[in-house]
Amino acid sequence: MPDVITRDDLPQMYRNASDKSGEAQKIFLFWNVVNYIALALGALVVALKKWIPYAPVISAVLLAAGAALTFSLRKSRLEQRWYRCRAVAESVKTLSWRYMMCAAPYNHTLDLEAASRLLNNVLHQIANEEPEAEAPEATEVTEKMQAMRSRLVIERLKAYMDLRIGKQKKWYSKESKKNAKKAEIFLYIAAGTQVLALIFSLLLIPYETELPDLVGVFSAVSASFLAWMQLKRHEEIGRASCRERV
């Protein structure tokens, strides 16, 4: 039975890039959510201005904060760091599996030392060309990678099918189903809040002086969910573009 290859058995360069990508993703998505909330709250405060002291001032502050967040996120390059670090991580992972499987350019005709030296050189070249990549260690080839490369062909093939293709297929299948379910829920919320905005706009015709104007609130909430769906779809496209070649 082939050894299990975990993330700790892959090069340190892979782990660093993967961690940086995950951190940038979390920060970027978090501040986008804060931005959407600020937009919705700004609209809500204005709608309830009869009951909230200094409502216009509060709303202006919230909307200004949202605008500042939008500008800051654009200038922060968090999204670029997220995707570029992910691309580095997937590239290193692909090269590592090529090394372990004795695939080109790390063919079985190369001895262990030569193949390891070639992989280290390639990883150093990637680090030199990609600013987001941290400089690799003197040697990035782990003992587990060397052990896998030294196994019989049939054992390497089984490891590749189980630990590489099989694991990857399960992960993408699970993520696809989860994201599809979330997208459906968010779409219903976006459509529902649009309907509520329509209902309130119709109610304001006969009851304009009696009801708060929540049309803008529900419109802002709907727009926020639609923007979030677009952002997550962008995430999926970015993830697919740097998907490992198997």
How far is the C-alpha of 118 from the C-alpha of 156, rounded, in Å? 20
Nearest to 81 by CA among 238, 217, 186: 238
Looking at residues 18-28, what average pLDDT do you find? 94
> SS in 3 state form for 182-217?
HHHHHHHHHHHHHHHHHHHHHHHHHHCCCCCCCHHH
Q: Say what the pLDDT of residue 174 is.
A: 86
* pLDDT tier, 210 (very low <50, low <70, confident <90, very high otherwise): confident
pLDDT digits 0-9 by tens, 34-52: 999 999 999 999 999 888 9
* pLDDT tier, 1 (very low <50, low <70, confident <90, very high otherwise): very low
Q: What tokens appear for 10 in the block?
A: 């892959």
Looking at residues 147-156, what average pLDDT do you find? 94
How far is the C-alpha of 141 from the C-alpha of 116, rounded, in Å? 6
Q: What tokens appear for 58 in the block?
A: 């509060």
* 3-state secondary structure (DSSP) of residue 96: helix
Contact 106, 99 (CB under 8 A): yes
Looking at residues 76-89, what average pLDDT do you find? 92
Q: Say what the pLDDT of residue 242 is.
A: 52
Looking at residues 144-164, what average pLDDT do you find? 94
Looking at residues 49-61, what average pLDDT do you find? 92
* pLDDT tier, 149 (very low <50, low <70, confident <90, very high otherwise): very high
* pTM for the full predicted model: 0.83
Of the candidate ranges 32-41, 123-132, 231-240, the one whose mean pLDDT is the lowest: 231-240
* pLDDT tier, 171 (very low <50, low <70, confident <90, very high otherwise): confident
Nearest to 118 by CA among 133, 126, 106, 130: 106
* pLDDT tier, 21 (very low <50, low <70, confident <90, very high otherwise): very high
Q: Say what the pLDDT of residue 246 is.
A: 36
User: What rounded mean pLDDT belongs to the chain?
Assistant: 89
Dihedral of the alpha carbons of 237, 239, 242, 246, in degrees to the nearest 10: -110
